[in-house]
Amino acid sequence: MTPQERFAANLRQARIKAGISQETLGELCELHRTEISLLERAGREPRLSTLVKLAGALGVEPATLCEGMSWRAKKRRFEVKRPSTRR
């Protein structure tokens, strides 16, 4: 799993938990629905400003959308944990 895939899973989970559509989330963030879709499908990596907008619109901290991924400096690679399948 890549960092983009983990971000996508975190974003989708947070959006569903908030009970809003991709279109509504896009409106709250001033992004097009297709941009939200791309982010949720790991087709695009978000900019920092987009990450902050998404978190604010979903009522979560930006760290929530980055949960499960970290950078291992000595190994020079990302470590990405799969999201739990519990709901």
Amino acid identity at 1: M
Which residue, among 60, 59, 57, has the nearest Cα to 30 in the 3D structure? 57
Q: pLDDT tens digit string along 4-58? A: 999 999 999 999 999 999 999 999 999 999 999 999 999 999 999 999 999 999 9
CATH H-level superfamily of 3-80: lambda repressor-like DNA-binding domains (1.10.260.40)
CA distance 49 to 82: 25
The angle formed by the CA atoms of residues 79, 38 and 54, to the nearest 5 degrees, is: 75
- pLDDT bin (cut points 50, 70, 90) of residue 84 is confident
Mean pLDDT of 48-71: 96
Q: Is the pTM here over 0.95, yes or no?
A: no
